[in-house]
Amino acid sequence: MKLTQAQLTEFEREGYLFLPNVFSADEVSVLQQAALDVYALDRDEVWRESSGAPRTAFAAHQYNEAFRRLGRHPRLVDPVMQIVDGPVYMHQYKVNAKAAFDGEVWQWHQDFGTWHRDDGMPEPRAMNIALFVDDVTAANGPLIFIPRSHSEGVQDAGHDLETTSYPLWTLDRENVTRLAQDGGVVAPTGPAGSMIMFHSNLVHASPPNISPFGRTIVYLSLCHVDNHITKHKRAPWIAHRDFTPIEPLDDDCFAELVDQRIAAAG
């Protein structure tokens, strides 16, 4: 999948791009079951909220077949290679949950700020591409962006070790307020199967989910192979150390899994 010039221009200006209905309902159904499967596992990679509800499953492409294929899907990998202008490797892979009633906040932060401080990533030649596995609404903890904040570079941040179960380099209220006064705040929502790609310096967060409807989003954090990390202080399933370029699969790589799921349901 290739982005148009208009989409590339919008991404460069705003720092993010929302793409609705990129994956079909059948493909999404496979991923919904895969998310349930990985959240049920007792593994170090699966982090939970204080309530015990799932928060995130790291590196799920290493122990689940559907997520393995998603990590090499051309609809996700090709647009990122187009923007960073070259081959990419998997820096991080997350299946993030916002459980109904129990999904907690992700504080205001920049991804590159964390990748640079903790992992020694040299430059912001990396980005996230996120796939909605469930419908994302205004009520169930959507991603929130400050448009154009990526153009401000890396912001000062403090290391928050207490607010949630996952440590994060977070921005203070003064910085967030200043940036939001210039760029506003948006929360892209849409049906399962939609995607968002966003710059690694874009300031973003997500609120708690106090609705009765859970939501899951899969994040591929892809980095240009020439820009790989230089520190190995975090666990290898959080910040990967295999810098091999991803070779995208065929666009129909989910067809076999869809057929299997239909047969099992039939």
pLDDT greater than 90 at residue 39:
yes
> For the residues 93-118, what does the mean pLDDT come to?
90
pLDDT greater than 60 at residue 161:
no
pLDDT greater than 70 at residue 44:
yes
- Mean pLDDT, the chain, whole residue set: 92
> For the residues 190-214, what does the mean pLDDT come to?
94
**Res. 263 pLDDT band, cuts 50 70 90:** confident
What's the rounded Cα separation, in Å, for the pair 162 and 215? 24
Q: What is the pLDDT of residue 163?
A: 54
Tens of pLDDT, residue by residue over 57-69, are: 999 999 999 999 9
The share of the chain scoring above pLDDT 70, in percent, equals 95
| Of residues 50 and 126, more confidently modeled | 126
* Lowest mean pLDDT segment, chosen from 77-86, 164-173, 249-258: 164-173
**Res. 221 pLDDT band, cuts 50 70 90:** very high
Q: What is the pLDDT of residue 166?
A: 60
pLDDT greater than 80 at residue 157:
no
What's the rounded Cα separation, in Å, for the pair 244 and 198? 22
Q: What is the pLDDT of residue 175?
A: 87
CATH of 5-265, one of 2.60.120.620, 2.30.250.10, 2.40.50.700, 1.10.443.10: 2.60.120.620
pLDDT greater than 60 at residue 244:
yes
Q: What is the pLDDT of residue 184?
A: 92
Residue 245 carries which DSSP code? P
> For the residues 44-53, what does the mean pLDDT come to?
90
pLDDT greater than 70 at residue 13:
yes
Q: What would the DSSP string read from start to end of 106-170?
A: EEEE-HHHHHHHHH---SS-EEEEEEESS-B-SSS---EE-TTGGGG-PPP-EEE-SSSSS-EEE
Domain boundaries, the chain: 5-265
What's the rounded Cα separation, in Å, for the pair 23 and 70? 11
pLDDT greater than 70 at residue 159:
no
Q: What is the pLDDT of residue 103?
A: 82
Q: Which residue in 186, 109, 174 sits closest to 147, CA to CA? A: 186
What's the rounded Cα separation, in Å, for the pair 65 and 208? 30
Q: What is the pLDDT of residue 167?
A: 65
> For the residues 215-231, what does the mean pLDDT come to?
97
